[in-house]
Amino acid sequence: MRRPTARALLATPVAALSLTGLALSPMAGASLPFGPETVAVADYTAPHGGVDESTRYVVTSAAEHDDHFAAAARVDTVRDASGQELVISKTTADRIPAMNSAVAGERAPGFRSFATLAEAEAFIASDRSAEAVQQQLALPAIDNQATVSPWLEEVQESRIRQTITDLSTSWPNRYYASSHGKAASAYLHDAWSSIAGEREDVTVAYDESCGSDCGVQQNVTMTVQGTENPDEIVVIGAHYDSISDTGSGDSMQAPGADDNASATATVTEVAQVALANGWKPKRTVVFAAYAAEEVGLVGSDAMARDHAAQGKNVVGVLNQDMTNYDGGSTDMALMQDNTNTELNSFNSELFDTYLAPKGMTLGTMECGYGCSDHASWTAAGYPASMVSESELFPQLHTTGDALENTGGTADHSVKFAQFGLAFLGEMAKTGA
Ligand SMILES: [Zn+2]
C-alpha cells in the first residue's frame, strides 16, 4: 500500500495537518545550536513522501552486480575506458535502500545511479577515471608548518561530538528523499554560515547542480576565495545523507552517526578551526557536504561534472567517509583505487609530517566501484583522494549506527579533522 503523499496530507483536515507538522519537527531533547529550519509540509512534494517507484538505472562492476545486485534486471554489460566490465541494471528508487543494505559490512553504496539509461550510458562513455588516477600533478612542497601545526592543537572533540549528535539524533534519518534529509541540509547551511560570519570572501550556498536528482536535498558548499590563485580549487568534503533498509521517506530509521555524520562533523571542524582566526588561503577552498551519496553518489557526481563542464581547475580533492570507529589495526586508511597516485603519496607525506609524530598510523585500503564521493571527482577527470577508518563500523546502514555504539565520543574523528587541516593548509597555503 502506498503511504499518503504530501499532497494527500494537505487535503486532510487542519487537526491532522498540525499533527503532521509536529512529526516533521526535529525530535525533542536534541541540541540544535544552529537552529535548523522546521520543514513545512507544503515543501514536501510527492513522490518523495511515499513509495517512489520511479525508474533508476544502476551502474556497478560486474563482480559487484553478481555478488549483491543480481535481483536488479540486467540491461547491458559494457566496458569502461579502463577496461573494467560494468553492468547496467534497472530498478526503482524505493528498492535502492535494500540494494544498499545488500552490501552491509562493506563499503557502500558500490554503485552509481541515474534517472535514465541515456544518462547512465553517457556517464560510462565520458568517465575519465583511467586518466585521472595517473594524472601527473604539480603538488606543493610541505612547508606550511607555521599555519598547520597550531591548527592541530585547536581541534575540539566536544565540538565534533556535538555535530555528530545533532546530525544523528535530531531526525530519524537524513535520507535524500525525506523532509529530515532536507532539514539536515538546512542545519549544515546554518552551521557553516555561522562559521563564515560576515566575511565577504566566504560564501555558503546550496549547490544547485544536482536538481531533483538529489531528491529534496542539495549539496551544501562553503567557498573561501583564494588570494593569489583563485582559479585553483581545493575541495574537502563528505556526504551527509544516511540510509537503511527500514522503510522509505520520513519513516526510515537511519541515524548514520558514523556513516557519515562523523566526517560531515570533521569537515565542519576543519572549517571551524581554519576560519576561526581569519585565515585566508592562496588557492580557493571549497568545503562540500554532499547530498544523496547513499543512492549512488548522486550529489557529488553532479557537482564534479558541473565543475568539469565549466572548465574549473580543481587541483586536489579530499573525501572523508566514516571517521569515528576505532576498530582497525591502523588509525586511518588511505584508499588506493579510484584515487590519484601522486596525491596519495602527498597524503602519506602529510601524514608522516603531522600525524605520525603524534603516534598515529596510516594503512591502505581498496574501496571498490562507486564506493564514495571521491570516485565522482575522479570520474570527472580530477585528482582525488579519500581517507576513512581502517576497519569499517559493522553497523553502518542499520538502526545501530549511533554514537554510543562507537564509544560515545568523537576521539577518533579528531584525527581526521587534524588530517583534513594538514591537507587544507598545505594544498591551499596561507595567503596574505
Ligand atoms: Zn558513507
Query: Please, are residues 215 and 302 in contact by the beta-carbon 8 Å criterion?
Result: no
Concerning whether 239 is annotated as a catalytic residue, the answer is: yes
Q: Which residues pair with 56 in a beta bridge?
A: 91
- State the Cα–Cα distance between residues 390 and 332, nearest whole angstrom: 5
Helix (H, G, I), strand (E, B) or coil at 380: coil
- What are φ and ψ of residue 131, in 5° steps? -80, -35
Return the CA Rg of the chain.
Answer: 20
- Is 65 known to be catalytic? no
The pocket of ion ligand 1, defined by CB under 5 A, consists of 259-260, 321
pLDDT (tens digit, 0 to 9) for every residue of the chain, 432 residues total? Answer: 333 333 223 322 333 333 333 333 333 333 333 333 332 222 323 334 456 788 899 999 998 888 888 878 888 898 888 888 999 999 988 888 888 777 655 667 889 999 999 999 999 999 999 999 999 999 999 999 999 999 999 999 999 999 999 999 999 999 999 999 999 999 999 999 999 999 999 999 999 999 999 999 999 999 999 999 999 999 999 999 999 999 878 999 999 999 999 999 999 999 999 999 899 999 999 999 999 999 999 999 999 999 999 999 999 999 999 999 999 999 999 999 999 999 999 999 999 999 999 999 999 999 889 999 999 999 999 999 999 999 999 999 999 999 999 999 999 999 999 999 999 999 999 998
**213, 245, 258, 259: the active-site residue:** 259
Residue of 241, 293, 331, 426 marked active site: 293
The yes-or-no answer on residue 119 being catalytic is no
The phi, psi pair for 114, rounded to 5°, reads -140, 155
Q: Which domains does the chain have, with CATH numbers?
A: 6-43 (no CATH), 55-128 (3.30.70), 133-428 (3.40.630.10)
> CB count, 10 Å around CB of 153?
8
Tell me whether residue 53 is one of the annotated catalytic residues.
Answer: no
